[in-house]
Amino acid sequence: MDHQPPPFFNRGPAPLVRLTFFVSLAILMMVLDARFRYAESVRQVVALAAYPIQRIAMAPVDLFHAVANYFGSTAALQEEYAALKTKQLRVAPDLLQLEALKEENNQLRRLLEAQERTPRKSVFAEILYAGRDPFSRKVVIDEGSQNGIQAGQPVIDDVGVIGQVTRVYLLMSEVTLLSDKDQAIPLQVLRNGLRAVAYGGAEGGMLDLRFMAANADIRNGDTLVTSGIDGTYPPGLPVATVARIERDAAYAFAKITLTPTAGTDRYRQVLVLSSEAKTPPPAEAEEPAQKPPRAKRSRKRE
């Protein structure tokens, strides 16, 4: 009796034979490809056909990396923004102080230029605080009799007259502003030399130019400077500008309001002018011209 398996169960060559065959075939193909490069075109076609499959297979990985990078960069940007905001808040007071010091240095530089222009000696001073009386306009400066400050000395800043010293202590002095109701200052219109007197006490820190004839030659925008006839203020210092003129035929005088040029609401540094004039720098002594040597007289022999 034949025990051979049916034909459809025939398994073909032995596995070892098939392994040997395919290994030999692979080695042969590698040798031929390395020598004749016959499979290069086939490789290119296979790579081109497999590229879409590779991209589809890598899509989940790429999507994961993109999402991770997005959230990572967002978190890094938020941390950097928070760090920069903290740093900005930390240095903000220093920046503000630096700007304040810069403006103060500019003001001091302008005061130095004004000190060089004035013909009188002057002392630097700083405003400590404003007066306590609400019905007067006064400030207190940090220079007193110890530094030669005397009552009646004018006080200016880099643009014009502020007021004058009215009370002196050892280490501080009281300055009454031009806008005070008890202050008056003789002025002169810079355009035509017309003299007048300005009084304080007007609303809003303004000045009144009183007793000016209604037909006086004065216009809006005219600049008024010190006339110097009182002996207190040196002539030519800017004081105010004409802000408003009201002329009425029923009155002999015009109502003129002035805007002060200087003021204590801007900076704290001022100059206190002395009554002493600046001494001019000593002139260089000219060397005396050398006298030509005298010619010796020759004695005639007799």
Asked if the structure places residue 106 within a domain, the reply is: no
Asked if the structure places residue 176 within a domain, the reply is: yes
Strand locations in 179-252, DSSP E? 184-189, 195-199, 207-213, 223-226, 238-246
> Do 60 and 134 belong to one domain?
no
Instruction: Show Cβ contacts of residue 256 under 8 Å, excluding neighbours closer than 6 positions.
Output: 208, 209, 212, 218, 242, 244, 245, 246
> Do 64 and 127 belong to one domain?
no
pTM (two decimals): 0.60
Asked if the structure places residue 76 within a domain, the reply is: yes
The pLDDT tens digits for 204-242 are 889 999 888 888 999 999 999 999 898 889 899 999 999
> Do 194 and 128 belong to one domain?
yes
Asked if the structure places residue 96 within a domain, the reply is: no
Tell which of 45, 76, 91 closes a domain: 91
> Do 268 and 123 belong to one domain?
yes
> Do 135 and 237 belong to one domain?
yes
Asked if the structure places residue 285 within a domain, the reply is: no
The pLDDT tens digits for 54-104 are 888 888 888 888 888 888 888 888 888 888 888 777 777 776 677 777 777
Mean pLDDT of the chain: 81
> Do 85 and 194 belong to one domain?
no
Asked if the structure places residue 172 within a domain, the reply is: yes
Asked if the structure places residue 132 within a domain, the reply is: yes
Give 94 or 201, the one with higher predicted confidence: 201
Task: List residues bridging with 30 in a β-sheet.
Answer: none
pLDDT number for residue 77 = 85
> Do 61 and 129 belong to one domain?
no
> Do 147 and 213 belong to one domain?
yes
Structure tokens at 181: 């109701």
Instruction: Show Cβ contacts of residue 135 under 8 Å, excluding neighbours closer than 6 positions.
Output: 181
> Do 128 and 81 belong to one domain?
no
Q: Are 232 and 215 in contact (CB under 8 A)?
A: no
**Chain center to CA of 4:** 108
The pLDDT tens digits for 166-178 are 999 999 999 999 9
Q: Which of these, 137, 174, 153, 165, lies nearest to 265 by C-alpha position? A: 137
d(CA 30, CA 24) in angstroms, rounded, equals 10
Give the number of other Cβ atoms within 10 Å of residue 218's Cβ. 19
154: CATH: 2.40.10.340
d(CA 124, CA 157) in angstroms, rounded, equals 10
> Do 144 and 241 belong to one domain?
yes
The pLDDT tens digits for 275-287 are 777 666 565 544 4
d(CA 213, CA 220) in angstroms, rounded, equals 15
**Count of domains for the chain:** 2
> Do 128 and 250 belong to one domain?
yes
Domain range for residue 25? 14-91
Asked if the structure places residue 165 within a domain, the reply is: yes
> Do 210 and 76 belong to one domain?
no
